[in-house]
Chain A
Amino acid sequence: QSVLTQPPSVSGAPGQRVTISCTGSSSNIGAGYSVHYDVHWYQQLPGTAPKLLIYGNSNRPSGVPDRFSGSKSGTSASLAITGLQAEDEADYYCQSYDSSLSAWVFGGGTKLTVL
């Protein structure tokens, strides 16, 4: 069981908007304003390594389309994808740091299906 909770799956039609939630606790996402407790998101296309999608709650690395956006509030975070495209079909993982475990932690992953 993962420390950060994500829905196992979400789906949407091309062009639609979907959101993926990531729920933590006061020992990780909600632990404070330190960079340690920021939330980051990774996209893992089938058969490939994870790729950084969002860092520092809401920042996009160079090359990531602005269709992807992130937010954080309290002990939760969300990833939003607008204008869904077939190429967005992948697994998405959130990540933060847990002070009780003294470990970097991931969500269980969410499989996005583009209908």
Chain B
Amino acid sequence: EVQLVESGGGLVQPGGSLRLSCVASGFTFSNYEMNWVRQAPGKGLEWVSYITSSGSPIYYADSVKGRFTISRDNAKHSLYLQMNSLRADDTAVYYCARKTPGTSWFDPWGQGTLVTVSS
């Protein structure tokens, strides 16, 4: 079964840092591009970041550029999101989502991990 499991969310103060992880199973992780997508409480979906199967190139939404860093470890079947200089408006459920090369949709998605930025 194809599965993505996120972890690392929690409560952090404004200006703080957090590192999210996403562990993949049930497929050859190194063959797929990966993304982070977030959803603020009661709001819609917002694409955050993308990484190719090899780790480069990498793209970010303008809202997180310069503060967030996406990375992956294919040997560990894992995707990461290092989040620095966190702000209240970064509060959201963060989902990792797989993307097949040559396509433009996201499937599947993990269950998400909640990040709350508050003092």
Interface of A with B (CB < 8 Å)? Answer: 2, 35-38, 40, 42, 48-52, 55-56, 61, 93, 95-97, 101-109
- The secondary-structure label for the interface of chain B is loop
The residues of A that contact B110 with a CB separation of less than 8 Å are 49
The stretch of B11-19, B42-50, B70-78, B83-91 that contacts the partner chain: B42-50
Answer whether residue B58 sits at the interface, using C-beta atoms and an 8 A cutoff: no
Q: List 21 A-B contacts (CB under 8 A).
A: A35-B103, A36-B104, A37-B104, A38-B105, A42-B106, A49-B112, A50-B95, A50-B106, A52-B105, A55-B105, A56-B105, A95-B45, A95-B106, A96-B104, A102-B59, A103-B59, A104-B47, A104-B104, A106-B44, A106-B46, A109-B45
16 additional A-B residue pairs with CB within 8 Å, beyond A56-B103, A103-B61: A35-B102, A35-B103, A42-B45, A50-B37, A50-B45, A50-B95, A50-B106, A52-B108, A55-B105, A55-B107, A95-B45, A101-B62, A104-B50, A104-B104, A106-B47, A109-B45
